[in-house]
């Protein structure tokens, strides 16, 4: 009995999603009266013992270089072996690009029930019931996991990182890794920008900005807030902004602490992608824009006047000016 | 070349989401059904493009669902594809069960390529592709944004953490598709007419386990109401975000 958490790494470092998964897994272990252990695959440039501060007692490390490439088929075999070797009965992964591919395969390999896009700790008062996102954020479902081994793929920004004191015991895991069939021939990392799904604050623009040349005022606000930038679907479809910035039902779904919607009317498809944001600020000249109904704070006015003023005030607060 | 595209029936993107029977079932009354957008716009259209390039390609569609799926299957056939298979079941909430049905049909079809959308817009599991791949012991490339075929090797650009990478993988392979792989189209009259006569085979499900069950659904709590701040008082908005909401 233990909770095994995949702390996935990118180029040797742990991202926010891995730390969220570790914190969630540690809390879950506490709830189940068992221990939390981490699984790290591939070469890492971080002190693994320090993962103990997120509440894991042990870190199992399979340092095989072949694992620096995420091939879901290869990863699944290795993780399944690690689950068997450690006797884990709950596996926690992040529902990021890596985790969602692996979790599905692992569910089949271990014949273990999977809760993808989970947003809460399980309710174990009657079985093992995990809340997950359904209908693209318009609702949630309480899913009962009905097998001995359970897999939880945790949505991004759904659980707060909890760091305390502690050192984990690092154990090397000797698992033979069969090479996969996928060859990686090129990698293109977006550098310098905050990835949207990981951002705690997001400033997003819609057609109200009138054209791509006007994005400067939005980027200024984003910079002052240390926020990522996003856009609505019409904006991406008009090629004003790159497609990877499109949030909404058919773009990416995000759940930042702060979502500032600028010149976006708030169609239901857009709301689906952002309505799990903790706080929503809507700035729109049309007081009838449906987005105001989903907002916590609203400003009815000309965005070209409002945005620079807001940016100034944010800078004042942060002591940038 | 044989391609199988998995298509799911989902509520229209503008559908009102409500539940019935003590929040245990989705309220289907008045809901318009569509092909899951990721399945249609990206997976299906890319497969059709591949068939347009190489006319010898055999393109099959598969849906797991009841007879109420037939209209969306016909629409998919109107876009393209040679024939469709419907696995006749209404047991749809457990991904493992659904994936087992697709894997079973795929086994007998000996497909070189199996395409899915990146996720469905109802259950949002993004699980079917990975599960089918594991059941068939095939490689799986998720979240593809580009797909090219060179003989028996696929060159696929996929989204990874914080960027993209290009994968080369020998067929057969399972691929989940998203924006970038293809551009959405609408069916033309010839397609709509020919779809009526294309085979739609209904097969009964195979025995498979159900690993999960949905206990209940919940709608998000309503917002308390928006606080409107005057345009000449941005200092107040910043104060509220800092002191009240504590997000900056």
Please report the sign of the dihedral spanned by the C-alpha atoms of residue A121, residue A123, residue A127, residue A130. Answer: negative
How far apart are the C-alpha atoms of B104 and B109, rounded to whole Å?
9
Core vs surface per residue A200-220: b (16+ CB within 10 A) or e: bbbbbbbbbbeeeebbebbeb
Query: What are the φ and ψ backbone dihedral angles of A260, each rounded to 5 degrees?
Result: -105, 115
Compare all CA atoms of chain B with the CA of A10 and give the residue at the minimum distance.
B161
Contact at CB, B216 and A141, closer than 8 angstroms: yes
**Average pLDDT for A109-129:** 97
How far apart are the C-alpha atoms of B225 and B139, rounded to whole Å?
48
**Average pLDDT for A232-256:** 91
- DSSP character at residue A247: B
**Model pLDDT for residues A188-227, shown as the tens digit of each residue:** 887 666 778 889 999 999 999 999 999 999 999 999 999 9
How far apart are the C-alpha atoms of A13 and A127, rounded to whole Å?
36
Helix (H, G, I), strand (E, B) or coil at A27: helix
Contact at CB, A147 and B211, closer than 8 angstroms: yes
Contact at CB, A100 and B127, closer than 8 angstroms: yes
Interface test with B, best of A21, A134, A224 (most B CBs within 10 A): A134
Contact at CB, A317 and B242, closer than 8 angstroms: yes
Q: Is the pLDDT of residue A321 over 70?
A: no
A185 touching chain B per CB within 8 A = yes
Interface test with B, best of A91, A99, A104 (most B CBs within 10 A): A104
**Model pLDDT for residues A132-170, shown as the tens digit of each residue:** 999 988 899 999 999 999 999 999 999 999 999 999 999
| B180 contacts in chain A (CB < 8 Å) | 243
Query: Which residue's entry shows tokens 């990416």?
Result: A252
Task: Please identify among residues 111-130 of chain B the ones whose CB lies closer than 8 Å to any CB of chain A.
Answer: 121-130
Contact at CB, B135 and A108, closer than 8 angstroms: yes
Q: Where are the domains of chain A?
A: 2-172, 196-318
A182 touching chain B per CB within 8 A = yes
How far apart are the C-alpha atoms of B228 and A116, rounded to whole Å?
37
Question: Exposed, middle or buried: residue A64 (CB in 10 Å: 0-12, 13-18, 19+)?
Answer: middle
What is the end-to-end Cα distance of chain A in Å, rounded?
55
Min Cα–Cα distance to chain A from B8, Å: 14
Element spanning B196, H or E: none
Helix (H, G, I), strand (E, B) or coil at B123: coil
Task: Please identify among residues 81-100 of chain A the ones whose CB lies closer than 8 Å to any CB of chain B.
Answer: 96-98, 100
Interface test with B, best of A182, A199, A281, A282 (most B CBs within 10 A): A182
Q: Give the DSSP per-residue string, A32-50.
A: HTSEEEEEEES---S-GGG
SS3 per residue for B9-71:
EEECCCCCCCEECCCCEECCCCCCEEECHHHHHHHHHHHHHHHHHCCCCEEEEEEEECHHHHH
pLDDT < 50 positions in chain B: none
Mean pLDDT score of chain B, rounded to an integer?
A: 96
Contact at CB, A105 and B133, closer than 8 angstroms: yes
Give the E-state strand segments of A47-109 in sequence order.
58-62, 90-94
Contact at CB, A296 and B129, closer than 8 angstroms: no
Compare all CA atoms of chain B with the CA of A296 and give the residue at the minimum distance.
B226
CATH number of A2-172: 3.40.50.620
Neighbours of B186 (CB within 10 A): 8
CATH 3.20.20.80 fits B2-220, yes or no: no
CATH number of A196-318: 3.40.50.1220
| B212 contacts in chain A (CB < 8 Å) | 113-115, 143-146
Task: Please identify among residues 148-177 of chain B the ones whose CB lies closer than 8 Å to any CB of chain A.
Answer: 155, 159-170, 173, 176
How far apart are the C-alpha atoms of A97 and B143, rounded to whole Å?
8
How far apart are the C-alpha atoms of B238 and A314, rounded to whole Å?
6
Helix (H, G, I), strand (E, B) or coil at A170: strand
B140 touching chain A per CB within 8 A = yes
Give the per-residue pLDDT at A198: 85
Radius of gyration of chain A (CA): 21
What is the spatial order of strands in the sheet that A258-262 belongs to? A228-231, A201-205, A258-262, A279-284, A297-300, B227-228
Tokens describing residue A138: 């318009």
Contact at CB, A10 and B162, closer than 8 angstroms: yes
**Model pLDDT for residues A264-317, shown as the tens digit of each residue:** 999 999 998 998 899 999 999 999 999 999 999 999 999 999 999 999 999 999
Give the per-residue pLDDT at B223: 80
Question: How do beta strands A13-14 and A9-10 pair?
Answer: antiparallel
Min Cα–Cα distance to chain B from A116, Å: 5
Nearest Cβ partner for B131 among A107, A190, A251: A107
Query: Which residue's entry shows tokens 């600020």?
Result: A281
Question: How do beta strands B227-228 and A150-154 pair?
Answer: unpaired
Give the per-residue pLDDT at B147: 98
Cβ–Cβ under 8 Å, residues A108 and B134: yes
Task: Please identify among residues 9-68 of chain A the ones whose CB lies closer than 8 Å to any CB of chain B.
Answer: 10, 15, 17
| Predicted-complex ipTM score | 0.95
* Cα atoms in the 13 Å half-sphere on the side-chain side of A204: 38
Cβ–Cβ under 8 Å, residues A225 and A199: no
How far apart are the C-alpha atoms of B238 and B180, rounded to whole Å?
38
Query: Which residue's entry shows tokens 């091939």?
Result: A71
Task: Please identify among residues 182-241 of chain B the ones whose CB lies closer than 8 Å to any CB of chain A.
Answer: 209-220, 223-224, 226-232, 234-235, 237-238, 240-241
Helix (H, G, I), strand (E, B) or coil at A92: strand
Please report the sign of the dihedral spanned by the C-alpha atoms of residue A149, residue A154, residue A160, residue A161. Answer: positive
Min Cα–Cα distance to chain B from A230, Å: 15
**Model pLDDT for residues A8-57, shown as the tens digit of each residue:** 998 899 989 999 999 999 999 999 999 999 999 999 999 999 999 999 99
Number of A–B residue contacts, CB under 8 Å: 273
Tokens describing residue B67: 């007879």
Mean pLDDT score of chain A, rounded to an integer?
A: 94
């Amino acid at each position: 009995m233990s909770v095994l958490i995949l702390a996935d790494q990118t180029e040797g470092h742990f991202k926010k999603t891995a730390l969220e998964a570790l914190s969630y897994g540690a809390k879950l272990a506490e709830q189940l009266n068992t221990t939390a252990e981490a699984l790290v695959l591939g070469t890492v440039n971080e002190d693994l013992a320090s993962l103990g501060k997120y509440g894991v007692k042990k870190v199992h490390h399979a340092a095989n270089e072949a694992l620096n490439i995420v091939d879901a088929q290869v990863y699944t075999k290795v993780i399944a072996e690690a689950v068997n070797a450690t006797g884990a009965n709950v596996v926690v992964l992040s529902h990021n690009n890596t985790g969602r591919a692996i979790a599905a395969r692992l569910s089949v390999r271990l014949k273990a029930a999977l809760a993808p896009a989970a947003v809460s700790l399980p309710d174990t008062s009657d079985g093992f019931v995990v809340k997950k996102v359904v209908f693209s954020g318009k609702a949630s479902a309480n899913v009962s996991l009905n097998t001995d081994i359970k897999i939880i793929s945790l949505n991004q920004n759904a659980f707060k990182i909890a760091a305390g004191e502690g050192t984990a015991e690092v154990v090397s895991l000797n698992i033979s890794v069969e090479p996969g069939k996928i060859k990686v021939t090129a990698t293109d990392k977006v550098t310098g920008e905050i990835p949207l799904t990981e951002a705690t604050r997001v400033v997003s623009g819609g057609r109200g900005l009138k054209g791509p040349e006007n994005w400067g005022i939005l980027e200024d606000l984003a910079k002052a807030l240390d926020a990522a930038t996003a856009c609505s679907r019409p904006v991406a479809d008009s090629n004003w902004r790159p497609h990877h910035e499109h949030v909404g039902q058919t773009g990416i779904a995000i759940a930042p602490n702060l979502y500032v919607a600028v010149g976006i009317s708030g169609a239901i498809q857009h709301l689906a992608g952002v309505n799990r944001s903790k706080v929503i600020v809507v700035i729109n000249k049309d007081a009838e824009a449906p987005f105001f109904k989903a907002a916590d704070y609203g400003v009815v006015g000309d965005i070209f006047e409002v945005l620079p003023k807001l940016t100034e005030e944010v800078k004042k607060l942060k002591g940038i000016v | 070349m044989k391609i199988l595209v998995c298509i799911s029936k989902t509520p229209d993107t503008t559908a009102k989401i409500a539940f019935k029977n003590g929040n245990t079932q989705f309220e289907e009354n008045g809901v318009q059904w569509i092909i899951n957008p990721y399945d249609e716009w990206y997976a299906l259209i890319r497969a059709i493009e591949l068939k347009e390039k190489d006319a010898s390609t055999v393109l099959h569609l598969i849906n797991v669902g009841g007879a109420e799926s037939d209209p969306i299957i016909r629409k998919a056939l109107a876009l393209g594809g040679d024939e469709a298979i419907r696995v006749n079941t209404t047991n749809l909430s457990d991904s493992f069960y659904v994936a087992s049905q697709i894997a079973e049909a795929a086994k007998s079809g000996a497909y070189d390529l199996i395409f899915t959308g990146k996720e469905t817009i109802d259950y949002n599991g993004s699980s079917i592709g990975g599960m089918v791949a594991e059941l068939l012991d095939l490689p799986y490339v998720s979240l593809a944004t580009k797909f090219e075929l060179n003989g028996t090797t696929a060159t696929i650009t996929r989204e990874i953490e914080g960027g993209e990478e290009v994968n080369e993988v020998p067929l057969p392979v399972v691929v989940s598709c998203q924006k970038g792989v293809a551009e959405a189209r609408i069916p033309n009259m010839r397609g709509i007419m020919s779809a009526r006569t294309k085979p739609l085979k209904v097969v009964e499900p195979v025995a498979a386990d159900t690993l999960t069950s949905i206990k209940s659904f919940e709608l998000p709590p309503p917002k308390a109401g928006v606080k409107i701040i005057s345009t000449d008082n941005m200092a107040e908005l910043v104060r509220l975000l800092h002191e009240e909401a504590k997000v900056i």
